Structure 1
Amino acid sequence: MNLDSIRKNAFAMPVHNPAYPRPPYRFINREYFIISYETDCDALRAIVPEPLLPENNLVHYEFIRMPDSSGFGEYTESGQVIAVRDPQGRLGSYTHSMYLDDEGPIAGGRELWGFPKKLARPTLSVDGNDTLLGTLDYGTQRIATGTMGFKHVPIDIEAERKKLADTPNYLLKVIPHVDGSARVCELVRFYLRDVSVLGAWSGPAALELHPHALAPVADLPVKRVVGARHVIANLTLDIGEVAFDYLASTEVAATGNARSLINR
């Protein structure tokens, strides 16, 4: 490969046969099972990166089934999302943890946007005849179990569409240098586009989290489940944008003025 061809064709690793195609990615019949629960406020403040601020003491634990995703095929993921406020006062979502069972979206999600993805074994299915069941195993250990009454109460489809389409989503992206230091350390913002919700329901729900050294979902403990949603949607995961560069703004961030720089 000559210099020009490398510059023109380099996209992702491995360079001759990347683990994933170029974005954006379209998802058909994407199925969400989201359990919202109260947790410890101090624990939330310790993990939400400035210049974002936790909106409340809620965590949204998600099990997501992707039966048809362009470039990635079929896979399932599970993790924790936190409601935050950005410096402009907008309500957004910060993805704290994600566990999934497919190498392509793990590599693509981490390298492109900075999704905090790790390999594990999540599932989402109907258990028996009447229960929506989500599970997450890390290695041989069960670390999360969520249940919900299956399609008990229909909820507003348009309201769920607006949540998915209008909410800015934030990620903390880190890529190391060859010496092990951070070469990229950015707050990334992205949106979901072309969203259509096919169905949405609520119902009684329960969530159990177990401690694990390498999959510490229980570090945000469940104090009380406040609600649950089951949503099926078609959508496009759009490309992201850098909302804040921590390495370029080290001095400013240290003075406490980081919030004024986001979006510049």
Structure 2
Amino acid sequence: MARVRYGARTDAEIAAARSASSRLPDIWSTGVVAVWETDPDAVAAVLPPPLKPTGRPLARVNISKVDLPGYRLGAGSFAVAAAHDGVEGWYPLVMPMTHERALIGGREVFGEPKKLGEVTVERDGLVVRAALARHGIAFVEVRGAVSGDLPLPEPVRKTDFYFKFLPSVDGPGFDTAPVLVHCLRNEKVRRLERITGDVVLRESMYDPVADLPVRRLVEITIGEKTTDQKGKVVEQVSAQALLPYIHQRYDDPQQLLDGPPQGSV
């Protein structure tokens, strides 16, 4: 019988796939990062327990293009500063990606709130524009001009917080107890420039980041960087406490808004 490719793989095939993935070279991205101070009450409102606000109400958007083998990926993240058990980091609310391949590992393994979307990073001389869009709405746009080089930072470890869960098969709730994940990223930067510009947040019912307004712009940069990441489950969390926040992960958990556009045949 010819080999059935959906059949079970052998131990040798599984080991070979793992070995190949461990030899991947550094993958560099070009990205725009904007950080600002926002409404502290809004930051507190979007953090599911046991996450807590930090001493400074920061929001951050990261908009990047990544040259993956065989294709270019657009990747974005909109996050707020958060803390857990003495560790400070970022809690992403939405992470638009331009390819399904980028969603799978992040959502299924780490619990990242990734969604298919449009990601734009454009540079024409000194002029830079970067944007995140979904459902036809560019809900975040960063605009400006490069105003100078910045010193390269030392390699650094950063922490993102995710909640890993699966909605219940037979009704409201979860299949198993949700867990809080600390995702540790080691970041190296080989180019960094300052941008003088602004951040525009547009109203979207699906991505309501406009509720985290720009009160004071901290910085906008464009740079080239590479990161790796490892995750660890740090604790189980209360399903009852997390349930009010699952709409952050899904546009519409009950699918009431997922029908075809009006007027379609």
- TM-score of the pair, normalised by structure 1: 0.75
Q: Read off the aligned partner of 1:84 and give its amino acid letter.
A: A
Are 2:94 and 1:97 equivalent residues in the alignment?
yes
Q: Read off the aligned partner of 1:189 and give its amino acid letter.
A: H
Q: Which runs of 4+ in 1 moved over 6 A?
A: 21-25
Are 2:54 and 1:29 equivalent residues in the alignment?
no
Relative distance call for 1:97 and 1:23 in structure 2 (3 A) is farther
Aligned twin of 2:107: 110
Are 2:211 and 1:219 equivalent residues in the alignment?
yes
Aligned twin of 2:73: 75
Q: Which runs of 5+ in 2 are unaligned?
A: 15-19, 243-265
TM-superposed CA distance for 1:22, in Å, is: 7.0
Aligned twin of 2:128: 132
Contact 1:38 1:59 in 2 (8 A): yes
TM-superposed CA distance for 1:133, in Å, is: 0.9
Instruction: Mark the structure with the bigger radius of gyration.
Output: 2
- TM-score of the pair, normalised by structure 2: 0.75
Aligned counterparts of 2:92 and 2:22: Cα–Cα separation in 1: 19
Aligned counterparts of 2:23 and 2:184: Cα–Cα separation in 1: 11
Aligned counterparts of 1:23 and 1:182: Cα–Cα separation in 2: 33
Contact 1:205 1:225 in 2 (8 A): no
Relative distance call for 1:213 and 1:73 in structure 2 (3 A) is same
Contact 1:35 1:228 in 2 (8 A): yes
**2:175 pairs with 174, 177, 183, which one?**
183
TM-superposed CA distance for 1:153, in Å, is: 2.5
Q: How many residues align?
A: 228
Contact 2:73 2:99 in 1 (8 A): yes
Aligned twin of 1:155: 150
TM-superposed CA distance for 1:34, in Å, is: 0.8
- Aligned positions of 1:1-264 closer than 5 A: 5=8, 27-55=26-54, 56-68=56-68, 73-87=71-85, 89-126=86-123, 128-150=124-146, 152-159=147-154, 161-162=155-156, 166-180=157-171, 181-184=173-176, 185-193=178-186, 195-236=187-228, 238-247=229-238
Q: Read off the aligned partner of 2:95 and give its amino acid letter.
A: M
**RMSD of aligned residue pairs (Cα, Å):** 3.1
Contact 1:26 1:235 in 2 (8 A): no
Q: Which runs of 5+ in 1 are unaligned?
A: 12-20, 254-264
Summarize deviations over 1:61-97 as a string: whole Å, max 9, x none. Answer: 11121112x6x8421122312222221x232222221
